[in-house]
Chain A
Amino acid sequence: DARVTQTPRHKVTEMGQEVTMRCQPILGHNTVFWYRQTMMQGLELLAYFRNRAPLDDSGMPKDRFSAEMPDATLATLKIQPSEPRDSAVYFCASGWIIAGVPSEQFFGPGTRLTVL
């Protein structure tokens, strides 16, 4: 049963520390997404990759956040330095797009980040 995996599931850190979240998309999917979910803002798109190339990271604070896909089996989201307002649940999702038609997205279980 293929699924998106995310590590760590929970992370508590202090303000100013670097945080790295990892995601393994489903094998064969060619799109990967990073979302952030908070009570106040709801679900926000941070970054979108297609065939490992970043297509849209307009929702990501560029000064402290970075997203990469070093290979097809790994996507990373880094925050440096972290701030208390970054506390949220971060979801990774993967899917595919063929001839411009997107599939449904498959979401990972999320990383719950708390920045003290």
Chain B
Amino acid sequence: AQSVAQPEDQVNVAEGNPLTVKCTYSVSGNPYLFWYVQYPNRGLQFLLKYITGDNLVKGSYGFEAEFNKSQTSFHLKKPSALVSDSALYFCAVRDGDTGRRALTFGSGTRLQVQP
């Protein structure tokens, strides 16, 4: 089975400060991990992914995420938050050892960046 947890419903951060949105996962094999962002009344947009290789993954809009196998985490980070980063963020996982499964999405974390 595969699952993903986003422990925070909402994260508040001041503009210019670093931000972290947490994600932990559970799979039986090697994970494929993704982050998506959703702006109001829009579909989800891809930010970045980890398939294999370097544990630090860089993505769109200055976001990055670090894959930590021992902690089964894939936290999303940005060094300096912008008000325009305010949105709903989803982490997703797929077990690399199962051929038929689709991605499992987390429940989402609402990021609020205050000016």
Residues in chain B within 8 A of chain A (CB atoms) = 32, 34, 36, 42-46, 49, 51, 90, 94, 96, 99-105, 107-108
A42 close to B32 (CB less than 8 A): no
Interface pick from A13-21, A64-72, A76-84, A97-105? A97-105
A104 to B51, CA, bound (A): 11
The 3 closest A-B pairs by CB, nearest first: A107-B43, A104-B46, A48-B102
Q: A93-114 CB contact bits vs B (8 Å, 1 = yes)? A: 1000000111011111110000
Bound Cα distance from A104 to B102, whole angstroms = 11
Q: Is the CB of A106 within 8 A of B51?
A: no
Q: Which residues of A contact B99 (CB under 8 A)?
A: 100
Contact size class for A? Answer: 20 to 34
A55 closest partner in B (C-beta): B100
Q: Which of B46, B90, B102 has the most CB of A within 10 A?
A: B102
Q: Is the CB of B46 within 8 A of A105?
A: yes
Question: In the bound complex, what is the Cα–Cα distance between A105 and B44 (angstroms)?
Answer: 9
A102 near B46 with CB under 8 A, answer: no
Residue of A nearest to B92 (CB): A105
Q: A42-B108, A43-B90, A43-B108 are in contact. Are A102 and B103 (CB under 8 A)?
A: yes
Digitize A34-51: 1 where CB-to-B-CB distance is under 8 Å, 0 elsewhere: 000000001101001000
Question: Contact partner of A42 among B45, B94, B101, B107, CB < 8 A?
Answer: B107
Which residues of A have CB within 8 Å of B34?
A: 104-105
